Amino acid sequence: MTEENSWKITAAGVLEARAVITQVEDGWLGRLDGKGTQPGIAADKVSEVRTYLATKVWENAQAVDLGVALSEITKVRLYSRVVSRYERDGEHLGGDFTVTAAADRGQKGWVLTTLGGSICATPQQREAELLMGMLGATATPPCHVTGNSFGEARESLAQAILMELAFQGDEVIEDWSALNLTVITRKSFSVSSLGI
């Protein structure tokens, strides 16, 4: 991606962009990567933010020379990092746990899976897991949840992680204070659905 554009053409007919969507007090705030000075969009739902950002990508792409005819572009694909924070009950002064997960829409709804093995592994345990994986041994399975909606699956995953942290979190980060959960999502929009 260039500094002027927050998107690039990645495949025949596809404009691809990256976005960050952050949970705020009264909803969600989203912005396109590469557009740090651009005002974001606030909305009640992650889906509303994604649709708005995809529309902005298509709108901005129409204002420049793409190097291909506009009629050849059929989709805008948006990769989003959806960031939410879960405070630990009580007063705690330790650091935050940061966990990344991937999301995909399956036949039975949304599927979210943590990336990187055990949530409460110490650096030594993570190194041991990495070595075990390289030797073909079974590593700690990721946390895996499903939900009818993205929000339901995200909340279910957060609760599962918080439960694990409640039992083992202080062994890794003493007096930990919060969970920062980043979920990576992908959504493709047909340009005809963007209403421009």
SS3 assignment for 87-130: ECCCCCCCCEEEEEEEEEEECCEEEEEECCCCCCCCHHHHHHHH
In a domain, 2, yes or no: no
In a domain, 34, yes or no: yes
- Average model confidence (pLDDT) across the chain: 83
Given a cut of 50, is residue 24 above it in pLDDT? Answer: yes
Q: Are residues 15 and 28 in the same domain?
A: yes
pLDDT at res. 41: 84
pLDDT at res. 3: 47
137 vs 60, residue with greater confidence: 60
Tens digits of residue pLDDT in 66-120: 788 888 899 999 999 999 999 887 787 778 888 899 999 888 899 998 887 666 5
Stated pTM of the model: 0.81
Q: Are residues 68 and 146 in the same domain?
A: no
DSSP class of residue 69 equals -
State the Cα–Cα distance between residues 154 and 130, nearest whole angstrom.
26
The answer to whether 106 and 82 have CB atoms below 8 angstroms apart is: no
